[in-house]
Chain A
Amino acid sequence: MVEAAANLSSQHLISNLSDQEIAEIRAEAAHYEYPQAASIEALKIVQKHRGWVSDESLREVARLLDMSAEQLDGVATFYSLIFRRPVGKNTLMLCDGITCWMLGCEKLRETIQHRLGIDYGQTTADNEFTLIPVTCQGACDRAPVMLKNMRLHSHLTPENIEPLLKGSE
């Protein structure tokens, strides 16, 4: 804990992260013996505020946690919920787990493709939506499901998914 605090005091070097972001990262880092352990949560904090993790943010978080940028990028690119490229205002995460697949997630994908013109990994031209496949969401009793901006929507059909494709909630 003492070590973590000492490393975080080097924050005067940080130029671009907001005070809010630094405070949140610091609070997470206090939970661990070493600041590096907060790397995933730190990246998520940056992502929460900025939508994604740019090279610049990555370098600054790395410095804050006493890691090399390369080390942190290894972490950032490993975890599927960390975005290293910009995403749209709304992220649609369609569950492609086995139960959702059997109960028709491909039809939902087609509906989204048809309605928004995007497939997995793509963002609409107006920057409103990004579509991403996600693994089983642990809601198989309510399949098929989708996360919109991390909120779970269940028992979806090509019809009742329509309102979710109309901009922010």
Chain B
Amino acid sequence: MTEKPLTRHIDPSRPPFDLAQYEKAGGYSALGKVIRDMTPAACLQVLKDSGLRGRGGAGFPTGMKWSFVPMGADAPRPKYIVANADEMEPGTFKDRLLMEGCPHLLVEGMIVGGYILQADVGYIFIRGEYVEAARLLNRAIAECREKGFLGNNILGGDWSFELHVHTSAGRYICGEETALLNSLEGKRATPRAKPPFPQVSGLWGKPTIVNNVETLCNLPALIDYGAEWFKQLSLTEDAGTKLYGVSGRVKNPGCWELPMGTPMRELLQEYAGGMCDGYGLKTFLPGGASTPLLLPEHLDTPMDYTHIGKLGSRLGTGTAIVIDDQVDFIGAMKNLEHFFAQESCGFCTPCRDGLPWVEKALGRLQQRRGQRTDLEWLQRATWMLNMGNTFCAHAPGAMGPLESALKYFPEEFASRVVEPKPQPGNSQGKAAASTST
């Protein structure tokens, strides 16, 4: 038994385990167990019972998601399982740790997941910049192929499975699961309309599961030790452990595997060593650039999907970005919105055109050239670019931090507005109307 299903084999002071070392430490026991002793249905039941939720940001229950994949002899083939290793959410650095620290864990998770879904092919969709992680994963896959953990009739059973690493070439939107599938097919990474959902019609129209690296890395220990063990790892109702991270002006930024529901105060004070001397905590994004801001008064809230959700934010990737009291706050907002504007795939109008407007308005405010109309536009954008109005969740994600910033720190925005000098011909009435809104 372990309390750290994800990081127990990770030690940054030495190279990651090769296959022999990983096996010696208990690795691939879950693979042996599922193939020799368990039916895919029994494995799926463990997954459902465990309460594991997707670690990529949305927090969808993994067992439920997987149960939509058609099973049995007449299910469409081939079926695919894809690891989303396109870690590009600003402020997020957890999947890199898993893949560079223990590539065999993800490979085992993929093979076990592939067995549960009775998939034929797996892809690890990894961002282009993670050169070292891709190299380590390719080596791990080669070792498995040689050992017979991949290929035809794995461990003498009747199930065959292949696994490949797909290295991408940038663009945040590739992390959106349907855009990822388009990208994997060699197309521009624009999201697809849902339904149909990928579980039924995904890669090349075939049943496909896309899950985050951290989610898949939970599978081996979950199979080894069971659903009840997994649930008791957590401090709250949301099961398991979580890779939490803290970055920004803190003494010891880093990423740690802790029980789900560990409060931010503990992360910040005990693990991140507190704020740097001379800096105070102004606000923080709990789980990446698209998660709405939280305040110092929220520090004691358990960091899980349910509790953070109740505060109007999201746990996201669980890697918090700390914004200190000395940084140019509007500049930080502009940096975030610049990212989202640049990374819009350009497919739908509100996102493609709206986000650059948001960035420009924030840029004017940052330079203290902003006008009241800029503030009005930002307010308007927070509903115009929100859920339902855009094709996918990219622009709504961009509005998360902005909307909460406007709510919690209106004075930051207002103080950057310069009133235009009255110009000849500009009627009094008009000026009054624009300031009253």
Tell me whether A70 is interfacial, beta carbon within 8 Å: no
State which of A36, A38, A102 has its C-beta within 8 Å of the C-beta of B324: A102
Tell me whether B101 is interfacial, beta carbon within 8 Å: no
Tell me whether A150 is interfacial, beta carbon within 8 Å: yes
Q: Which residues of B contact A147 (CB under 8 A)?
A: 129
Q: Are B169 and A80 in contact (CB under 8 A)?
A: yes
- Which stretch in B84-92, B153-161, B224-232, B304-312 binds the other chain? B84-92
CB nearest neighbor in B for A65:
B186
Tell me whether B393 is interfacial, beta carbon within 8 Å: no
A110 to chain B, nearest CB (A): 15
Query: Given contacts A101-B332, A103-B249, A143-B247, are A138 and B130 in contact (CB under 8 A)?
Result: yes
Tell me whether A69 is interfacial, beta carbon within 8 Å: no
Residues of B within 8 A of A (CB): 78, 87-93, 95-96, 123, 127-131, 164, 166-172, 183-189, 204, 245, 247-249, 253-255, 285, 289, 319, 321, 323-324, 327, 331-332, 335-336, 338-339, 342-343, 345
Q: Are B204 and A134 in contact (CB under 8 A)?
A: no
State which of A40, A78, A82, A140 has its C-beta within 8 Å of the C-beta of B247: A140
List 24 contacting pairs A-B, 8 Å CB cutoff, sorted by A. A34-B185, A36-B185, A36-B186, A37-B185, A40-B186, A74-B188, A75-B188, A78-B171, A79-B128, A80-B170, A81-B128, A82-B169, A98-B289, A102-B323, A136-B92, A137-B129, A138-B88, A138-B93, A138-B95, A138-B127, A138-B129, A141-B245, A150-B129, A151-B131
Give Cα A42 to B255, complex, Å: 34
Tell me whether A68 is interfacial, beta carbon within 8 Å: no
Q: Contact flags (1/0) for A147-162 with B, using CB distance below 8 Å? A: 1001110000000000
Q: Which residues of A contact B321 (CB under 8 A)?
A: 98-99, 140
B255 to chain A, nearest CB (A): 6
Query: Given contacts A102-B327, A141-B93, A150-B131, are A39 and B186 in contact (CB under 8 A)?
Result: yes
Q: Are A135 and B204 in contact (CB under 8 A)?
A: no
Give Cα A103 to B285, complex, Å: 16
Q: Contact flags (1/0) for A25-55 with B, using CB distance below 8 Å? A: 0000001111011111101100000000000
Q: Are B129 and A79 in contact (CB under 8 A)?
A: no
Give Cα A135 to B238, complex, Å: 31
A37 to chain B, nearest CB (A): 4
Q: Are A79 and B167 in contact (CB under 8 A)?
A: no
State which of A33, A136, A150 has its C-beta within 8 Å of the C-beta of B89: A136
Q: Are B131 and A140 in contact (CB under 8 A)?
A: no
Query: Given contacts A37-B185, A75-B187, A98-B321, are A140 and B166 in contact (CB under 8 A)?
Result: no
CB nearest neighbor in B for A82:
B169
Q: Are A98 and B204 in contact (CB under 8 A)?
A: no
CB nearest neighbor in B for A147:
B129
Q: Are A134 and B249 in contact (CB under 8 A)?
A: no
Give Cα A79 to B187, complex, Å: 10
Q: Which residues of A contact B335 (CB under 8 A)?
A: 96, 98, 101
Q: Which residues of A contact B131 (CB under 8 A)?
A: 150-151
Q: Are B167 and A41 in contact (CB under 8 A)?
A: yes
Q: Contact flags (1/0) for A61-88 with B, using CB distance below 8 Å? A: 0000101000000110011111000000
Q: Which residues of A contact B91 (CB under 8 A)?
A: 97-99, 136, 140
Q: Are A44 and B185 in contact (CB under 8 A)?
A: no
Tell me whether A139 is interfacial, beta carbon within 8 Å: yes
A108 to chain B, nearest CB (A): 14
Q: Are B245 and A140 in contact (CB under 8 A)?
A: yes
Query: Given contacts A96-B335, A102-B327, are A44 and B92 in contact (CB under 8 A)?
Result: no
Q: Which residues of A contact B88 (CB under 8 A)?
A: 135-136, 138
